[in-house]
Amino acid sequence: MALAKFTSSSRSNLLKPLTTVFSTSDSFRRPISTSTDPLTIETSVPFTSHKCEPPSRSVETTPQELISFFKDMAMMRRMEIAADSLYKAKLIRGFCHLYDGQEAVAVGMEAAITKKDSIITAYRDHCTFVGRGGTLLEVFAELMGRQAGCSKGKGGSMHFYKKEAGFYGGHGIVGAQVPLGCGLAFAQKYSKDETVTFALYGDGAANQGQLFEALNISALWDLPVILVCENNHYGMGTAEWRAAKSPAYYKRGDYVPGLKVDGMDALAVKQACKFAKEHVLRNGPIILEMDTYRYHGHSMSDPGSTYRTRDEISGVRQERDPIERIRKVILAYDLATEKELKDFEKEIRKEVDQAIAQAKESPMPEPSELFTNVYVKGLGTEAFGADRKEVRAVLP
């Protein structure tokens, strides 16, 4: 039975209704469910497809998976809110792009794939890294430029990386990660290992020429790549309708199939990514447009309220928030009590605070680290002074 119905509203089309739930008396609730028995739940809204048959709205899940969705998204949300505070305290410097509001994309995508599959994304990369198995300590240490960071403190917010888990980084150049992702997919097809690559980009990057060039050659060669447009409806200070003549990003591939997905529904994201993986292994690339929303501004220099109203932001929080959706599903199926879910959130706050304290204790990188990870190790590459006469260092 569907937990949601799409109702008409005079509000912006960004605001879609939350799941309708049924209340159950706490006195009849069971302990937190860790069951792996299957449940079937219908997605909040239908998929919209281009040149393909959409997947079923009925998604198979388990109580254990739903609880893990809640905990993972709650941790991501708390982590990003803490990063906001650290930035304002000047403990994080430079660029910083937060992901709160979009957590369902990271969590749902991971539920559909394995660590052998690859993910590459843009600079809003903190939660994608955590979804791939990154730790809170690695996140906060990297944000603060410390040695314990996932990129040894040299990458900062935009350049998280975890190759051993198939995460090929955040990238600062708008849209440049998409051709790299298609290259990863080329390697996967060449090695015949039946894995795929998810190349993520935002609606602001969707107009980049290199994206269409990469998509063209991927379609010619039937590469196993899924282009995921995380459409949060706003670029840097600009609404999508001011930047894109055709904001139906899932149709942008023309000859390449596409699917529009409710990116605020973790179960819908899971179903779409599972469908997409099966598709690309047989037929070549597909585009997924994740209809999502960011609560913060584009970056820390963007207040996020000059080009949209506060009422719009609060309306999305109330009606489409991905964590609240999962909370309501858990309560509707009597998998945990409201108090138990609040206790999870309290424990997550402690974990985040502990990770921040540990990250602050990590030392800054040594100056010599500037010369590492530049060339292949063991080449004996020499660095000279400005006069080209004195050898200053031999790069490791």
CA atoms within 13 A on the CB side of 82: 26
The number of folded domains in the chain is 2
The residue with tokens 């800054």 is 364
**Does residue 51 fall inside a structural domain?**
yes
Shared domain for 282 and 142, answered yes or no, is: yes
- Would you state the pLDDT for residue 14? 53
Shared domain for 233 and 276, answered yes or no, is: yes
Q: What rounded mean pLDDT belongs to the chain?
A: 91
Q: Which domain holds residue 390?
A: 366-395
Rounded CA-CA distance 263/228 in Å is 11
Shared domain for 113 and 146, answered yes or no, is: yes
Q: Residues of the chain with pLDDT > 70: what percent? A: 92
Tokens standing for residue 10: 């005079």
- Would you state the pLDDT for residue 10? 39
Give the global pTM: 0.89
User: 41-74: per-residue pLDDT in tens?
Assistant: 999 999 999 999 999 999 999 999 999 999 999 9
Asked whether the predicted pLDDT for residue 3 surpasses 70, the reply is: no
| DSSP H stretches of helix in the chain | 63-88, 103-112, 126-131, 136-143, 177-191, 209-220, 240-243, 266-283, 310-320, 322-332, 338-361
User: 200-252: per-residue pLDDT in tens?
Assistant: 999 999 999 999 999 999 999 999 999 999 999 999 888 999 999 999 999 99
Do strands 48-50 and 258-262 pair parallel, antiparallel, or not at all (unpaired)?
antiparallel
**Does residue 24 fall inside a structural domain?**
no
Shared domain for 295 and 374, answered yes or no, is: no
Q: Do 31 and 252 meet the contact criterion of CB atoms below 8 Å apart? A: no
Q: What is the mean pLDDT of residues 142-159?
A: 97
Shared domain for 222 and 256, answered yes or no, is: yes
Rounded CA-CA distance 109/120 in Å is 12
**Residues 6+ positions from 228 with CB-CB distance below 8 Å:** 105, 109, 198, 199, 200, 201, 287, 288, 290
Shared domain for 261 and 281, answered yes or no, is: yes
**Does residue 232 fall inside a structural domain?**
yes
User: 335-390: per-residue pLDDT in tens?
Assistant: 999 999 999 999 999 999 999 999 999 999 998 888 788 877 777 777 777 777 77
Shared domain for 120 and 170, answered yes or no, is: yes
- Would you state the pLDDT for residue 197? 98
Shared domain for 193 and 325, answered yes or no, is: yes
Shared domain for 205 and 323, answered yes or no, is: yes
Q: Tell me which H or E stretch contains 50.
A: strand 48-50
Shared domain for 74 and 125, answered yes or no, is: yes
**Does residue 196 fall inside a structural domain?**
yes
Q: Do 178 and 211 meet the contact criterion of CB atoms below 8 Å apart? A: yes
**Does residue 177 fall inside a structural domain?**
yes
Shared domain for 143 and 292, answered yes or no, is: yes
Shared domain for 296 and 390, answered yes or no, is: no
| Domain CATH for 71 | 3.40.50.970
